Amino acid sequence: MMIPDDQSSRPASPLLEIRGLNLDFGTPRGRVHALRNVSLDIPAAQVVGIVGESGSGKSTLAYAVMGLLSENAEVTAGNILFEGRDLLDMPAHARRGLLGDRLSMIFQDPMTALNPVRSIENQMIDIQHHEQRSRSEKRTRAIDMLHRVGIPDPQSRIGGYPHHYSGGMRQRVCIAMALLVRPALLIADEPTTALDATLEVQIIHLLKDLQGEFGCSVLFVSHHLGAVAELCDRVVVMYAGEVVEQGTVRDIFHNPGHPYTRALLECDPGRIRQKTRTLPTISGEVPSLLGYKKGCIFSARCPQAFDRCHREIPIEYSIGLEQTARCHLLDEKRVVLV
Ligand code: SF4
């Protein structure tokens, strides 16, 4: 007897699946291995944060998904599956067609993301080029979206130029533009870095509300752990081009399994309870990504490193139902292999 294929009981495929991604940059000094064996999922309607120090590969990964890397970048292995299709195998025109439609991005600096010589109105109408609507309908949608992101008096302000808006207001305009196309996946690359702390909180709350309302998935790149804890469902921790740990926000913030994650949390100013004049830092520096690396990528800075760490690259171990980390200590504790 044939057993019926019960599709409803299957877990839905993630919206974005990155599998074993290796990416190099060719430079006069040699090949920089900017991403090594990166694998992660972004489920539908979830917010996934990517954290790590500068040089960890967070933004490179975001730009790789968007297909916006410089010409000297080369993917040497792996796949980026979006809605089941490998972006890396797609013809260039098909991939470009996804941008500003199914995939949308908010950049770090709103001033450079907007065109300074075109009005906000024209830019917001241009971005709707996939839509079969009249110009006046597109303008009405743009005004409505500006209103939703908190731009006061959008009817009269939509005719202004980027320099007529403050930094926080410009980032709100960028968020409005990114959501206007109703993307399935929104990539936000350090969207609050250029803003002060008060505006940062406002923008994070705005993103959270709008993500709930529109139901899109978000890949949120940030070095700010507080913002990630506030906004995200899952967290991916990157170090020197590798994913060293990933799990739910609760897992990562309450039960970190990797020494690097623990060090990052200990250095987070938002978690320091005692008065101090000097903020803690992780001693040492992120290693050069030129050439081949032996052993664990964090071994030169890890307070718990032992012999094996300098010889063998750690594999990925499962810590809990949804948490994994790459550290030999987890093998020593006999954690189940993934
Ligand atoms: Fe530290 Fe070794 Fe674990 Fe790497 S594998 S994080 S060096 S203990």
Q: For atom 3 of ligand 1, which residue has the closest CA?
A: 327
**Please, what is the average pLDDT of the chain?**
89
Query: What values do phi and psi take at 178, rounded to 5?
Result: -65, -35
Could you tell me the distance, in angstroms and rounded to a whole number, from the CA of residue 54 to the centre of ligand 1?
Answer: 20
Q: In what order do the strands lie in the sheet with 30-42?
A: 30-42, 16-27, 73-82, 85-86
For residue 336, pLDDT over 70 is answered with: no
Whether ligand 1 lies within 6 angstroms of the CB of 298 is answered as: yes
pTM: 0.90
Higher pLDDT, 203 or 125: 125
H or E segment and range at residue 24? strand 16-27
Q: For residue 241, which of 161, 167, 297, 160 has the smallest C-alpha distance? A: 297
> Counting atoms of ligand 1 from 1, which one is nearest the CA of 297?
4
Whether ligand 1 lies within 6 angstroms of the CB of 263 is answered as: no
Measured between alpha carbons, how far is 78 from 292 in angstroms, rounded to an integer?
18
Whether ligand 1 lies within 6 angstroms of the CB of 296 is answered as: yes
Whether ligand 1 lies within 6 angstroms of the CB of 329 is answered as: yes
pLDDT score, position 334: 54
Higher pLDDT, 268 or 229: 229
Q: Are 35 and 23 in contact (CB under 8 A)?
A: yes
> Counting atoms of ligand 1 from 1, which one is nearest the CA of 328?
5
pLDDT score, position 12: 65
Could you tell me the distance, in angstroms and rounded to a whole number, from the CA of residue 334 to the centre of ligand 1?
Answer: 15
Whether ligand 1 lies within 6 angstroms of the CB of 327 is answered as: yes
